[in-house]
Structure 1
């Protein structure tokens, strides 16, 4: 790497490290019971030593098949229940009931769950569990409304700034700018001194200009199943039970799109992790992938947990890494 470009990169890194450091804690693993996966591909399930076909959406499995590649007895979902995808669930899922402060925007059918949202004048942001809708705020005197309240966002108000306030803000800006300039100058001085003395990591004064600085971290890998996706995915449920801290269970399943009424009381019934992963698998159908579960872990900074699961899945011969181009 050319010395000038190297200096720019390292100056930026040193300056950021001087301004702030943000440590990330990873989840702590737990021990748990195992689960056996099916070997009949995405369209079926194993019953004894024969493969049965799943029931269609809108039905559940009352009794399994007795001949290979046949459907068992599939029964229509009762009123108030549903299944959204092909499945072999022992019963249909209960439709979500809207709270008293919510209204239905899509009714429950045999193949679709009921969708709820806060009533007019109330809101609940998507990143929160909407146990209770909050009342929309009103702008105060001297404030201007810049966005109306919706079912998923509160009212947004903008406060006018007086000339005296602007003057005060201007006075405060100069010390902040001076401090930032000082930090950058110190960083440049430290980097230049190390570079001049040949002690700067990754950069030599007159080194090979074509040499590249290693990436600070690798891109997270994508996994490719070595057998059927559903078969491999079910066998990986054990890894999530072992590696994911119970404190993250609810956030994990909410990120996967499961309703609050499904995951309520999860912390009192730990064995429901397998049940909820199974429900998520049936809900997603052919779109289900271990990569979706790993991205959910990365979303709330559980990278070490995700890396441990990837390592086990590859070591056990269920998945292989797809090289990042």
Structure 2
């Protein structure tokens, strides 16, 4: 009787599972599908949990045993991965633009960092596609906060001190003084005119034409001499003012300081740049030879040629003087201030 039961049980098992897939094997597959890897430390590869590759390396090939690391390779030069990961490729390092400077070198485990060059800024909460020029405070304003790589210059109106004369009073005083000076000159000229006329009348032997010339030309000659002296005085005063505003700047690192300031000339008015380089002794053929380049590259190329031509005599002072001769005082002031602020030059 037992033999019959054993044979019956065996037949039932064979006919119920013709493929040989027994319930025990089904439980094993379900265990493999339910494998759970430790977050932040491991990643899933098939039925295995592999350890992450450390920062600065990438996964060249995954692990072959549960809980081990695969083959990790160090990132190539110019690429990085900042955190432990299962990445199979490193990221390229950030490249600074021409209006930026590198403040932190890129490593295998950390990206490089760029910031706007001195004299330019970019707000951190905005997409920094280009660094903007820092503004300069007007004559009736004072600096509240200097420009940085992330903030623009802040200015405010200069408040008149108590008891100080207002602008209208100063203007009135200047006008009165000018009127008094004109009256004094007129009185002196009139007195000379009358004296000359009396003298000519006391010489009856002189021809009438000569008398007339003595009467009328002399006051105008005095006036012309006075005007010439005034113009000479104004020219001298302007020259002294320019010397005070544009003293001789001293480079901190010689020619390196001069070349570091070339970028400040990129804002040179395009209508003046040909006249500017002609005044520096650059020929028209050389200037035209750079017309195919971008404007900024053109400026740098021509300034380099000027340095090669001048040699040791090349200086930022000569460039600023050329701008002043072209009545580009505001541009000269901006370049002077940027050179001083960046520490390339000192007074």
Q: Give the TM-score range, shorter chain.
A: 0.3 to 0.5
Q: Which one scores higher on RCO, CA 8 angstroms, separation ≥ 6?
A: 1
Structure whose CA Rg is larger:
2
Normalising by structure 2, what TM-score?
0.35
Structure with the bigger percentage of helix: 2
